[in-house]
Amino acid sequence: MTAWYTRFLIALRARHGSYAVGYCEEYFVDSLSVWQPRHQPVPQHTANMFRNTLLVSALAVAFTSTNALAQGGRGAPQGPTPPPTNPQALPVDRATAPYVRSTPPTNPMIQKIYEEGMQRSQVMTMAQTLLDSIGPRLTGSTDADRAQAYMLATYAKWGIPARIENYGTWNRWKNGAAFAELLFPRVRGLEVTAMGWSPGTKGKWVEGNVVVIPENVVTPELFAAWVPSAKGKFVLLNAPQLSCRQPAQWAEFGTVESRDRLRQEQGALTASFSQRVLAGGGPRAIQAKLKAAGVRGALTTNFSQYPGINKVFGSAAQEIPTVDVGCEDMGLLYRLATNNQGPKIRLMVDAEKGPERPVGNVIAEMKGSTLPNEYVVLSAHFDSFTGGSGATDNGTGSLTMIEAMRILRTVYPNPRRTIVIGHWNSEEQGLNGSKAYAEMHPEVIAGMQMLFNQDNGTGRISSIGPGPFVQAGAFLSRYMSEMPSSITQWVRLGGTAPFNGPGGTDNTTFVCFKAPGIGTGALGWDYSNTTWHTNRDTYDKIVPEDLRNNATFIAMLAYMASEDAQKLPRDLVPQGNMPDGSPRAWPACPGPTKSAAQSAR
């Protein structure tokens, strides 16, 4: 570096600091690389011109950089962080939330719960073990076995009796990595993930051409005539996305004509693929027919609105190796196949699918000291799909309840009512675990004071509702009025509503039996597109502050419900009327699906 430039940097540092010097040094080096090829001397007149130009440019960069740094640029101290932009993430209007205290809590147990949950939390340590070391918890899988064993050991360490209650069977499955390569007409790695319960390739690579069910195969007869030609090949079972750009980009930049064209073409292609699969018997039955025909594997895709993010499901009905293919790669294979360019791939799925074996729920409980036959239940499904780690669906809901149980055991070891925690299995296949528990434990249904359920992502709990129970809202308001405002200021208390039937998540299982199952709602964090059943549902998506808050809130609710001198009445709001004016009946409460063979999923 020349002497004049060194003097310039010294002066610059004295006035604007080392960050501006760093910017100028980068500019100087980058500029030299353009102006002076390696080992080639620069003429004097060129050097003088370059020096003058660089001085002006470097000063401009320096002053620009200092402005940028003042606004939080690279390496600079950050200015005040603005509040969140989503209204649901802001504190409630206290005029409409009388349960938000204006003074500190006076209940000493509430204070103990707060200190244990917010100052001595263990939830992120448990999250790392459960989500990183154990991972996804597909029903029937060896990973689910490891997760349940971890919970039994954890409760044993805390001195809380726990057990596995088997209720049925499901296919055994050992998770494994999936690999794929395009071999022809060019070589390229392909992004694939094994679908849940997919058979493996027995440790071998399998090769074959990729084919699409022809567009004119729209009846069972036409499918039966076509499928022998797929022997030894891989079959695309889903329509590809014609564009893997996120919808927001199309909305921002796309003309009306281009967006209309894309919507129409995508809709037609998706409908056409659905008809072709239906001709093969539908998504479940087609698997057996493909296997009988000697098909090597099935290729699927489920784009989740962002590049690199797919939803990864699975079915125990899968009989040939079945993988989710990344959006761009699925489009590539489709275009090659439909343009008769002979795509050939090889695939290895290091998974193992086995016969049905026992499955069940992990149940732990702290026996009530005064009212052991009345119950407060902490509820969250424990199973997940396999694309990611099952972090926000429903690792965070489970961890909320686990940490709440730890807090209660630590500061409230002798509850007035029995406190039960249920880690439900097979929620993803139709609330099967919670339905089985309700069927097996009518005494809990009869004696339930309240059940609290969490199952919609990592965000801070921002709403809670009484469901169809007339007086539950007043009870919840009374409970929250004992808590610190730092927790309740975020929570919106909803109103009563008729019950539409079980579904969505596990508290509805218990509401169906007219037991007060309370659902909690959380801030979205773009849950539906980013993490729900996706290959990106991983530990890093957790918001630690929100998870600590949620566990502490649930522990306080459980304590208040356990200690309440009143039993919650089960008066229900009217169900309303049918369109013809007749009274709407209370929904039926179907039982669990107790085996994979019985499942329609």
Instruction: Determine the pLDDT at residue 78.
Output: 75
In tens, the pLDDT along 337-346 reads 999 999 999 9
Confidence at 40, pLDDT banded by 50, 70, 90: very low
Q: 564-587 burial string, b = 16+ CB within 10 Å, else e?
A: beeebeeebeeeeeeeeeeeeeeb
This prediction has a pTM of 0.87
Mean pLDDT of 32-54: 45
Task: Specify burial of residue 300 (Cβ count, 10 A radius: 0-12, 13-18, 19+).
Answer: buried
In tens, the pLDDT along 255-285 reads 999 999 999 999 999 999 999 999 999 999 9
In tens, the pLDDT along 344-392 reads 999 999 999 999 999 999 999 999 999 999 999 999 999 999 999 999 9
Q: Is the pLDDT of residue 252 over 90?
A: yes
Instruction: Determine the pLDDT at residue 25.
Output: 44
Confidence at 408, pLDDT banded by 50, 70, 90: very high
Q: Which residue has the higher pLDDT, 413 or 6?
A: 413
Give the whole-angstrom CA distance, residue 200 versus residue 197: 9
Q: Is 372 helix (H, G, I), strand (E, B) or coil?
A: strand
**Beta bridge mates, 364:** 162, 421
Q: Which residue has the higher pLDDT, 34 or 191?
A: 191
Instruction: Determine the pLDDT at residue 74.
Output: 55
**519, 377 in Cβ contact below 8 A?**
no
Instruction: Determine the pLDDT at residue 57.
Output: 47
With a CB cutoff of 8 Å and minimum separation 6, the contacts of 453 are 379, 380, 397, 505, 506, 507, 517, 518, 519, 520
Q: Report DSSP state, residue 339.
A: T
- CA atoms within 13 Å, Cβ hemisphere of 418: 18
The CATH code belonging to domain 176-350 is 3.50.30.30
**167, 306 in Cβ contact below 8 A?**
no
Mean pLDDT of 401-415: 98
Confidence at 39, pLDDT banded by 50, 70, 90: very low
Confidence at 492, pLDDT banded by 50, 70, 90: very high
Instruction: Determine the pLDDT at residue 59.
Output: 45
Instruction: Determine the pLDDT at residue 457.
Output: 85
Percent of the chain past pLDDT 70, that is, above it, reads 87
Instruction: Determine the pLDDT at residue 146.
Output: 98
Instruction: Determine the pLDDT at residue 26.
Output: 42
Give the whole-angstrom CA distance, residue 596 versus residue 7: 77
Q: Is the pLDDT of residue 183 over 50?
A: yes
Instruction: Determine the pLDDT at residue 50.
Output: 43
Q: What number of residues does the chain have?
A: 601
Mean pLDDT of 197-209: 97
Among candidates 380, 574, 560, 570, which has minimal Cα distance to 472? Answer: 570
Query: Structural domain boundaries of the chain?
Result: 3-70, 111-171+356-563, 176-350
Scan for tokens 């022997």, then name that residue: 231
The CATH code belonging to domain 111-171+356-563 is 3.40.630.10
Mean pLDDT, the chain, integer = 91
Q: Is the pLDDT of residue 455 over 50?
A: yes
Q: Which residue has the higher pLDDT, 181 or 29?
A: 181
Confidence at 75, pLDDT banded by 50, 70, 90: low
Instruction: Determine the pLDDT at residue 77.
Output: 64
Sign of CA dihedral 459, 470, 369, 416: positive
Task: Specify burial of residue 95 (Cβ count, 10 A radius: 0-12, 13-18, 19+).
Answer: exposed
Instruction: Determine the pLDDT at residue 456.
Output: 87
In tens, the pLDDT along 134-171 reads 999 999 999 999 999 999 999 999 999 999 999 999 99
Q: Is the pLDDT of residue 66 over 60?
A: no
Give the whole-angstrom CA distance, residue 453 versus residue 398: 9
Mean pLDDT of 190-217: 98
Q: Is the pLDDT of residue 44 over 90?
A: no
Confidence at 15, pLDDT banded by 50, 70, 90: very low
Mean pLDDT of 178-197: 98
Q: Which residue has the higher pLDDT, 177 or 77?
A: 177
Instruction: Determine the pLDDT at residue 153.
Output: 98
Q: 348-377 burial string, b = 16+ CB within 10 Å, else e?
A: bbbbbbeeeeebbbbbbbbebeebeebbbb
Q: Which residue has the higher pLDDT, 41 or 396?
A: 396
